[in-house]
Amino acid sequence: MPVFEPSEGIFDRAYVLSEDYIPDVIRGRDEDIQRYKNLLQPIMDGRDTKSILLYGKTGVGKTVTTRYLTQHLERDINEYHGINLNTIWVLCENINTSYQLAGAIINEIREPENHITPTGYPSEQMFRMMYDELDSLGEHVIIVLDEVDNIGTDDKLLYELPRAGSNNRLQDTKITVIGISNDLRFTDNLRQKVKSSLAQRELQFPPYDANELNEILRDRAEIAFHDGVIENGVIELCSAISANDVGDARQGLDILTEAGEIANREDSEVVTEEHVYRARDALEQDLINDSIGDLTTQGKLVLCSILYFERSNETPVRSKDVYDKYIKLAEYIDTSPVTQRRVRDHLGDLKMQSLILESTKNTGRQEGRYKEYKSYADVDSAISELDKDGTMEPIVELLEALN
């Protein structure tokens, strides 16, 4: 007797709700797609192109739009000109040097049995190997560097790749580099010559509004679910929650998916607004659990500093006040404190993990500009998660006493 059997459920093609799915029509991005298409058009026409840097917060359509346009460009250029356009996609999440990036590009081109371990080669040999592999592809190659901001200060290839043809690094292949970044300030840390090379053209995708999210979710839901299982108001509610938060389509799709999963587990014939609210709460709790569980002791101390001010109803709080409280909390558990600069780094990490919110305040000549912070995570849930490993127990008791 089988352990697993197919279930009827309410889903028809649930994979349509995943972030990897590329729809036939991209909703909510008409003007952005046209600008993006114009930047890629020279490839179709056999002309030189500029490098492109694409900005925007997570879930605003940067990756799906890039995949959509490059796939169509590959098909169309082959149909009209008989040219095989190659797109090399590198996720830079765990890549922080040019050396590692070169190894990743080589392995994207080669068959798995010929992959290299990107260690032990002299740097110039690694780069030469990469350019040889690119030259072997001929015609035109698009290199997409997704989450390019992870590469950090080792920016040799970010400067060289867009100029590979003019610098005679490539003989037979033209390349177009597309960088995708969630960090709107990414180029602030680049050398000017690197910025002018990597970001010859820039596009910024703004957050979606509720109407745009509604279009996206409705299109996906019509394919992903069986007919008639989504109650009126469910799509609108998912869209409103996401729009009021960060305008993130991925968040809206995650909430809709989880709502469907909850309905499935309970053998409900429909997805209701109650399922949506429960899905939102469950996903927020999962985010808190995962994010806090990955924090170092110092990261947890910085978060506790902000939670202290939340409990005291004193947020938003300035970074210098966060640091003063952090010093006291570090002493409280007999831990050596880090510098104020490192605390700022931890604040940036907490913001990226959606545990805190950052805002900039401008007071004019009196105090100038400064940053303020408040908790984004539910305070009680965050405190509960901090209490699990025991290292923060004295501080957790202190925070709970403030309630």
Q: Hey, do 29-204 and 208-291 end up sharing a CATH topology, with the first three levels equal?
A: no
CATH of domain 295-401: 1.10.10.10
Does the pLDDT at position 197 exceed 90? yes
CATH code matching the domain that covers 29-204, chosen among 3.20.20.120, 3.30.930.10, 3.40.50.300, 2.30.29.30: 3.40.50.300
Instruction: Read off the pLDDT of each residue in 253-281 and give the average, rounded to a whole number.
Output: 96
The answer to whether the beta carbons of residues 207 and 57 sit under 8 Å apart is yes
User: What pTM was computed for the model?
Assistant: 0.81
Kindly state the percentage of the chain with pLDDT values over 70: 97
Strands annotated E in 182-244: 201-204
The pLDDT of residue 289 is 87
Band the pLDDT of 187: cuts 50, 70, 90.
confident
Q: What is the DSSP string of 269-323?
A: SSB-HHHHHHHHHHHHHHHHHHHHHT--HHHHHHHHHHHHHHHTT--SEEHHHHH
Per residue in 207-220, pLDDT tens?
999 999 999 999 99
Above 90 in pLDDT, residue 237? yes
User: Taking 90 as the threshold, does the pLDDT of residue 284 lie above it?
Assistant: no
Residue 360 has pLDDT above 80, yes or no: no
Angle at 244 between CA 383 and CA 150, to 5 degrees: 70
pLDDT band at 362 (very low <50, low <70, confident <90, very high): low
Q: What average pLDDT does the chain have? A: 91
pLDDT of the residue at 98? 94
Lowest mean pLDDT among 25-34, 123-132, 163-172, 356-365: 356-365
d(CA 170, CA 350): 41
Q: Looking at the domain that runs over 208-291, which CATH code has it been given?
A: 1.10.8.60
* pLDDT(391) > 90: no
For the chain, the domains span: 29-204, 208-291, 295-401
Residue 365 has pLDDT above 60, yes or no: no
Q: Is the pLDDT of residue 364 over 90?
A: no
Dist CA 181 CA 348 (whole Å): 16
User: Averaged over 286-313, what is the pLDDT?
Assistant: 92
The number of angstroms, rounded, from the C-alpha of 186 to the middle of its chain's C-alpha atoms is: 13
In terms of pLDDT, which residue wins out, 381 or 203?
203
Type and span of the H or E element at 181: strand 173-181
Distance from CA of residue 298 to its chain's centroid? 24
What is the rounded distance in angstroms from the CA atom of residue 131 to the CA atom of residue 127? Answer: 6
pLDDT tens-digit readout, 42-89? 999 999 899 999 999 888 999 999 999 999 999 999 999 999 999 999
